[in-house]
């Protein structure tokens, strides 16, 4: 033994920094805590408080992402099998509210008369704005005239979606599914777990790789992914129309192995497979966008921004390109929609009972990939898989992702809200990014009356539980002022020290919680034995 170690030996030891991260992860301590200053406004005492970063992606902060996922699972579980309506019908307006609404109606009538008579409406508009404020502060939600001060585009509404041939029922305001009775008189109220997929773009193998990449319809796959959220929205509308009540759902969007999005849905109430098949077949979303069949600008030849006229022009002719509105107006009566999105005919549906193992399993399934971006869910392991990812990314590169997408310039159209610096193929929209696979919408779609609570309410529930469990006194928010500590502040903790503090805070919580649990168990045991002696 010489006591000498080689570079390789030394590098084989973990660094202290890595070890701290690993310990933090094991204990669920945030890796990037945010430092706040809590100032007691009575005494002036200042404490440094670290709060978790709250990331939802494991690539940013695994412990916070895990907590976010658990919270989503709790939200899902709470609404799925509800037996009573989560949101009570709001009461009728009180006297004060009714009074403001009456004033508002009269002011509107006066304003409309004045306008019709060609008089100045400025003063009445001011009065209306004040009345709207009174209405809001009286506790009413929403606006008396939502269209006010939002000038609408004067274009025909001809581009409506064609109506689907589904039975139409009046939608009753209930959100709870039906109950069923067994022969021996037990009743139960099943819910459902659904999975809806995109159609086929060409045959794929087990590994999600197209059997023939050249004939696989990457363009259709890209467009379907871009408009998948709108399609799901249509589906829920149709579901409600067919079932005749305000069906509630907790849905998550995930990629299949072939990298097409699919949606898992926890739905309150049930639907027969036959009805579901009918709804899926009749559900589609038409996208009425200008044609992208002809590439007008490519390579070096690109439209240029002309500041004086506030638009892009063709450098060859000096003519301004049609604006977004002009391009929309040019869509003719005989034109087809730019794209129609539909679901594939394959779907999965089964009933789930409250409190069953299956219910827990499905919730695990629903939330499984929420800590990952869509593109991270199935890491390509083979060359063929990498090529599949590349081909899809290529297809997404020049597809317009939205009316404001820079790619419209490629097809000779100024995007909506045009501004200088737009480059086709370099749109900043999320949909084009590798890790989004064309889907830029929200990953979790929850209907409004799912649990009657927002995610923040659910988080509050957990905090309240913890505070009670630990027997902490409720802190009076009025007594404290909070400030974020900035890197240039004297009391700013460098990241290494913040991470250590984050671990220490977490350990302290864990110990306190374990202690509280132990005491609760002892109390229970004492009660049981006392009852035993009394009997």
E strand or H helix at 187: strand 187-188
Can you tell me whether residue 191 is helix, strand or coil?
A: strand
C-alpha distances in Å from residue 325, one per residue of 147, 415, 417, 481, 523: 20, 9, 10, 49, 71
Nearest distance from residue 407's CB to Zn ion, in Å? 5
Nearest distance from residue 401's CB to Zn ion, in Å? 3
Nearer of residues 349 and 427 to Zn ion, judged by Cβ: 427
Nearest distance from residue 419's CB to Zn ion, in Å? 14
Distance between CA atoms of 64 and 67, rounded to whole angstroms?
5
Scanning residues 396 to 415, which ones bind Zn ion (CB under 5 A)?
A: 401, 405
Nearer of residues 32 and 111 to Zn ion, judged by Cβ: 32
Number of residues written out for the chain: 535
Nearer of residues 427 and 445 to Zn ion, judged by Cβ: 427
Distance between CA atoms of 406 and 424, rounded to whole angstroms?
5
Nearest distance from residue 469's CB to Zn ion, in Å? 22
C-alpha distances in Å from residue 161, one per residue of 148, 152, 188: 25, 19, 38
| 393 touches Zn ion (CB under 5 A) | no
Nearer of residues 229 and 405 to Zn ion, judged by Cβ: 405
- Point out which span in 63-71, 248-256, 383-391, 482-490 binds Zn ion (CB under 5 A): 63-71
Nearest distance from residue 405's CB to Zn ion, in Å? 3
| 64 touches Zn ion (CB under 5 A) | yes
Nearest distance from residue 24's CB to Zn ion, in Å? 9
**Binding test (CB under 5 A) with Zn ion, winner from 263, 279, 427, 499:** 427
Nearer of residues 74 and 401 to Zn ion, judged by Cβ: 401
Instruction: Find all residues with CB under 8 Å of 84, minimum gap 6, and list them.
Output: 176
- Point out which span in 199-207, 264-272, 413-421, 427-435 binds Zn ion (CB under 5 A): 427-435
Nearest distance from residue 66's CB to Zn ion, in Å? 10
Nearest distance from residue 455's CB to Zn ion, in Å? 16
Scanning residues 428 to 467, which ones bind Zn ion (CB under 5 A)?
A: 429
The token pair at 132 is: 């709207």
End-to-end CA distance of the chain: 73
Q: How many residues bind Zn ion (CB under 5 A)?
A: 9
- Point out which span in 55-63, 91-99, 452-460, 462-470 binds Zn ion (CB under 5 A): 55-63
Nearer of residues 76 and 401 to Zn ion, judged by Cβ: 401
Nearer of residues 34 and 444 to Zn ion, judged by Cβ: 34
Can you tell me whether residue 217 is helix, strand or coil?
A: coil
E strand or H helix at 100: helix 95-116
| 395 touches Zn ion (CB under 5 A) | no
Nearer of residues 267 and 405 to Zn ion, judged by Cβ: 405
The per-residue DSSP string of 29-89 comes to --SSPEEEEEEETTT--EEEEEE----SSTTT-HHHHHHHHHHHHHHHHHHHT-SS-SSPP
**Binding test (CB under 5 A) with Zn ion, winner from 24, 29, 35, 52:** 52
Nearest distance from residue 53's CB to Zn ion, in Å? 3
Quote the crossing angle between the two packed helices 228-243 and 218-226, to the nearest 10°: 60
* Strand ranges inside 400-532, DSSP E: 444-446, 480-484
Q: Compute φ and ψ for 141, nearest 5 degrees.
A: -95, 155
- Point out which span in 45-53, 156-164, 193-201, 214-222 binds Zn ion (CB under 5 A): 45-53
| 61 touches Zn ion (CB under 5 A) | yes
Distance between CA atoms of 233 and 231, rounded to whole angstroms?
5
| 53 touches Zn ion (CB under 5 A) | yes
Nearer of residues 100 and 398 to Zn ion, judged by Cβ: 398
- Whether the Cβ atoms of residue 136 and residue 128 lie closer than 8 Å to each other: no
Would you tell me which residues interact with Zn ion (CB under 5 A)? 30, 52-53, 61, 64, 401, 405, 427, 429
């Amino acid at each position: 033994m010489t006591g000498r170690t080689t570079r390789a030996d030394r590098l084989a030891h973990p660094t202290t920094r890595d070890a701290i991260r690993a310990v933090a992860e094991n204990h669920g301590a945030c890796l990037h805590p945010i430092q706040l200053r809590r100032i007691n406004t009575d005494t002036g005492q200042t404490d440094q408080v670290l709060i978790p970063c709250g990331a939802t992606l494991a690539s940013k902060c695994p412990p916070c992402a895990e907590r976010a996922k658990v919270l989503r699972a709790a939200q899902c579980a709470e609404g799925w099998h509800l037996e009573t309506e989560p949101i009570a019908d709001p009461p009728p307006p009180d006297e004060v509210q009714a009074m403001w609404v009456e004033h508002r109606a009269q002011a509107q009538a006066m304003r409309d008369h004045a306008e019709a008579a060609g008089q100045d409406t400025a003063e009445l508009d001011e009065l209306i704005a004040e009345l709207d404020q009174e209405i809001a502060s009286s506790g009413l939600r929403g606006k008396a005239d939502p269209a006010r001060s939002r000038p609408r585009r004067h274009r025909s509404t001809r581009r409506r979606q064609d109506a689907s041939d589904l039975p139409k029922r009046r939608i009753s305001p209930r959100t709870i599914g039906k109950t069923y009775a067994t022969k021996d008189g037990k009743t139960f109220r099943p819910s459902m777990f659904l999975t809806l997929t995109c159609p086929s773009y060409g045959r794929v193998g087990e590994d999600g790789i197209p059997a023939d990449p050249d004939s696989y319809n990457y363009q259709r796959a890209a467009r379907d992914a871009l408009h998948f959220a709108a399609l799901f929205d249509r589906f829920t509308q149709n579901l409600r129309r067919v079932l005749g009540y305000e069906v509630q759902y907790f849905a998550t969007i995930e990629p299949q192995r072939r990298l097409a999005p699919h949606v898992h849905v926890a739905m309150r109430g049930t639907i027969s497979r036959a009805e579901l098949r009918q709804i899926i077949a009749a559900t589609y979303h038409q996208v009425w966008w200008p044609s992208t069949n002809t590439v007008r600008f490519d390579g070096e030849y690109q439209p240029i921004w002309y500041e004086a006229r506030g638009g892009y022009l063709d450098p060859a002719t000096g003519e301004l390109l049609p604006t977004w509105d002009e391009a929309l107006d040019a869509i003719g009566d005989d034109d087809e929609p730019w794209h129609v999105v539909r679901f594939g005919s394959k779907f999965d549906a089964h009933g789930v009972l409250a409190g069953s193992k299956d219910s827990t399993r499905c919730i695990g399934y629903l939330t499984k990939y929420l800590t990952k971006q869509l593109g991270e869910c199935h890491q390509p392991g083979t060359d063929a898989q990498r090529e599949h990812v590349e081909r899809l990314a290529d297809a997404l590169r020049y597809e317009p992702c939205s009316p404001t997408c820079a790619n419209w310039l490629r097809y000779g159209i100024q995007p909506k809200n045009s501004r200088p610096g737009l480059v086709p193929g370099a749109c900043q929209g999320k949909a084009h990014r590798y890790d989004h696979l064309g889907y830029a919408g929200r990953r979790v779609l929850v209907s409004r009356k799912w649990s009657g609570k927002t995610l923040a309410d659910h988080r509050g529930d957990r905090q309240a539980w913890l505070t009670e469990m630990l027997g902490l006194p409720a802190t009076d928010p009025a007594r404290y002022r909070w400030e974020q500590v900035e890197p240039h502040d004297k009391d700013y903790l460098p990241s290494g020290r913040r991470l250590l503090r984050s671990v220490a805070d977490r350990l302290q919580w864990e110990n306190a919680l374990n202690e509280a649990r132990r005491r609760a168990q002892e109390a229970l045991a004492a009660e049981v034995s006392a009852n035993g002696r009394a009997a």
